[in-house]
């Protein structure tokens, strides 16, 4: 019997847990996942999947974002085949609000122009306030909104849990470092043939000791979850008003509200109730019931940004067999599982659906002198 190839994945957020899931389907591989979990963006994420209304001109990013949204139903179908739970992803639709009605028409036209390459957007239409109430009773503070039925929300923590439990792997809850050997890499006293670093905002901490400069900075994000005993929120659409706040309904009466984008807090994970209270004040314009929630709790996580806001993934040229992904920013739950899937293909030597050269690691990871 030939020896199994040993693969380590450091970081079990959206990227790492999806890579682990796909790699673990190959019985010739032995997979170990190391995850510290501290500050993980995936479990703190709002979970909105709706990239088609973005006016960002970065074509490589948009391609990744639309393919990331397309990938969710494929992932759900793969999970379903093995009998795993698929409920972490739900296409309940999205409501977009703009103060200026002309902007709604612009967004409608933009989404219609993208519908052919992204049929997943679904039905797109302008709704009057009374029509919008049908799917989200009690929503107010606007005259019209734009609805897209394909918009979705994902529970990040649940998704990673499902992926990891549907995989054959060893899981180690620990912060680790990596040591390159002539061949392979040592992590936590074990030697691995290949490694994926899916460490999000913490990529610099793990690569700097190896003599690299990493262009990834942290951004703190906080949000609050509200629980309503008497609301059946299961099919409520996500609401995206103009500005920082979004309203994200989940199953069983849970509605999340956030999130902050704090660039000056480093890796700080302290909750700031003042910021969360101000979100609640803004959101009451649209849904006055937040005040009456039976229970409230908060989440905080750290997003990863590059200096030009572009994500990157692939092998590090100087370290063969070492693959990375980071810089996913505020749309990382949209693109993370797809990137994890593409990284798994790279590790397996299979063709990828997108060209990693468009998301080059050497632009953001450089040898320090
Ligand atoms: C508040 C908030 C709201 C968001 N909302 C959305 C949204 O609505 N839609 C969207 O698409 N995206 C959203 N995002 C962005 C998205 O969550 C992230 O971009 C994405 O989850 C990043 O995934 P990742 O796997 O790269 O990193 P992470 O999820 O951060 O995972 C990295 C993991 O690596 C672990 N780790 C790091 N270093 C080590 C080490 N040395 N040893 C062991 N483990 C290590 C960490 O502890 C962590 O668990 C949001 C993010 C935040 C914070």
122 and 236 share a domain?
A: yes
CATH (domain of 167): 3.50.50.60
241 and 176 share a domain?
A: no
Q: Is the CB of 47 under 6 A from ligand 1?
A: yes
Half-sphere CA count of 71, side-chain side, radius 13 A:
23
CA–centroid distance, 70 to ligand 1, in Å, is: 20
CA–centroid distance, 304 to ligand 1, in Å, is: 7
- In whole angstroms, how large is the CA radius of gyration of the chain? 21
Rounded to whole angstroms, the Cα distance separating 267 from 42 reads: 15
Chain length of the chain: 369
- Domain annotation covers residue 128: yes
DSSP letter for 262, please.
B
237 and 345 share a domain?
A: no
DSSP letter for 260, please.
-
Atom of ligand 1 nearest to the CA of 335: 11
CATH (domain of 260): 3.30.9.10
Query: Total domain count for the chain?
Result: 2
285 and 161 share a domain?
A: no
Give the pair of three-digit tokens for residue 267.
């890796």
pLDDT in tens, the chain (369 residues): 568 999 999 999 999 999 999 999 999 999 999 999 999 999 999 999 999 999 999 999 999 999 999 999 999 999 999 899 999 999 999 999 998 889 999 999 999 999 999 999 999 999 999 999 999 999 999 999 999 999 999 999 999 999 999 999 999 999 999 999 989 999 999 999 999 999 999 999 999 999 999 999 999 999 999 999 999 999 999 999 998 899 999 999 999 999 999 999 999 999 999 999 999 999 999 999 999 999 999 999 999 999 999 999 999 999 999 999 999 999 999 999 999 999 999 999 999 999 999 999 999 999 987
CA–centroid distance, 128 to ligand 1, in Å, is: 36
Atom of ligand 1 nearest to the CA of 175: 42
- Domain annotation covers residue 129: yes
Rounded to whole angstroms, the Cα distance separating 345 from 107 reads: 35
106 and 133 share a domain?
A: yes
Contact 41, 65 (CB under 8 A): no
CA–centroid distance, 198 to ligand 1, in Å, is: 9
Query: Which position has the token pair 């807090």?
Result: 265
Q: Is the CB of 40 under 6 A from ligand 1?
A: yes
269 and 357 share a domain?
A: no
Q: Is the CB of 45 under 6 A from ligand 1?
A: yes
Contact 156, 44 (CB under 8 A): yes
248 strand-pairing partners = 256
347 and 247 share a domain?
A: no
* Residue 51: CB atoms within 10 Å: 22
Element (H, E) at 80: helix 59-81
E runs forming strands in 209-266: 212-214, 217-227, 238-240, 246-249, 254-258
CA–centroid distance, 14 to ligand 1, in Å, is: 7
Boundary of a domain, candidates 302, 317, 348: 302
Q: Rounded to an integer, what is the distance from CA 106 to the centroid of its chain?
A: 26
Q: Is the CB of 206 under 6 A from ligand 1?
A: yes
180 strand-pairing partners = 185
209 and 318 share a domain?
A: yes
Helix, strand, coil percent values for the chain (each to nearest 5): 35, 25, 40
- Domain annotation covers residue 49: no
Atom of ligand 1 nearest to the CA of 326: 26
Q: Which residue range forms the structural domain that includes residue 172?
A: 5-43+157-216+308-367
Rounded to whole angstroms, the Cα distance separating 179 from 8 reads: 12
Ligand 1: residue whose CA is nearest its atom 33: 11
- Domain annotation covers residue 272: yes
Residue 121's pLDDT is 98
């Amino acid at each position: 019997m030939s020896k199994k190839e040993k693969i380590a994945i450091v970081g079990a957020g959206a990227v790492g847990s999806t890579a682990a899931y796909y790699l673990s389907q190959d019985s010739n591989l032995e997979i170990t996942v190391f995850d510290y979990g501290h500050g993980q963006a995936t479990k703190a994420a709002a979970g909105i999947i709706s990239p088609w209304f973005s006016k960002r001109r970065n074509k490589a990013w948009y391609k990744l974002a639309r393919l990331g949204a397309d990938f969710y139903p494929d992932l759900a179908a793969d999970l379903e085949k093995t009998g795993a739970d698929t409920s972490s992803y739900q296409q309940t639709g999205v409501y977009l609000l703009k103060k200026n009605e002309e902007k709604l028409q612009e967004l409608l036209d933009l989404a219609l122009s993208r519908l052919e390459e992204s049929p997943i957007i679904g039905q797109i239409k302008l709704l009057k306030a009374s029509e919008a109430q049908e799917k989200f009773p009690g929503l107010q503070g606007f005259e019209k909104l734009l609805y897209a039925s394909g918009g979705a929300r994902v529970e990040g923590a649940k998704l990673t849990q499902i992926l990891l439990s549907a995989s054959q792997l060893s899981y180690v809850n620990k912060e680790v470092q990596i040591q390159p050997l002539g061949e392979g890499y040592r992590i936590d006293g074990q030697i691995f043939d290949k490694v994926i670093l899916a460490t999000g905002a913490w990529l610099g901490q793990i690569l700097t000791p190896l003599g690299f400069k990493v262009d990834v900075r942290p951004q703190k994000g906080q949000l609050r979850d509200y629980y309503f005993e008497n609301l059946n929120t299961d099919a409520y659409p996500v609401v995206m008003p103009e500005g920082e706040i979004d309203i994200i309904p989940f199953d069983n009466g849970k509605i999340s509200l956030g999130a902050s984008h704090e660039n000056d807090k480093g890796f700080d994970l302290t909750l700031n109730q003042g910021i969360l209270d101000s979100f609640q004040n803004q959101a009451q314009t649209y849904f006055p019931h937040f005040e009456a929630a039976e229970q409230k709790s908060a989440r905080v996580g750290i997003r990863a940004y590059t200096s030009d806001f572009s994500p990157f993934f692939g092998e590090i040229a100087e370290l063969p067999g070492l693959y990375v992904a980071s810089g996913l920013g505020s749309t990382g739950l949209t693109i993370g599982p797809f990137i994890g899937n593409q990284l798994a293909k790279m590790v397996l030597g299979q063709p990828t659906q997108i060209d990693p050269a468009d998301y080059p690691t050497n632009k953001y990871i450089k040898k320090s002198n």
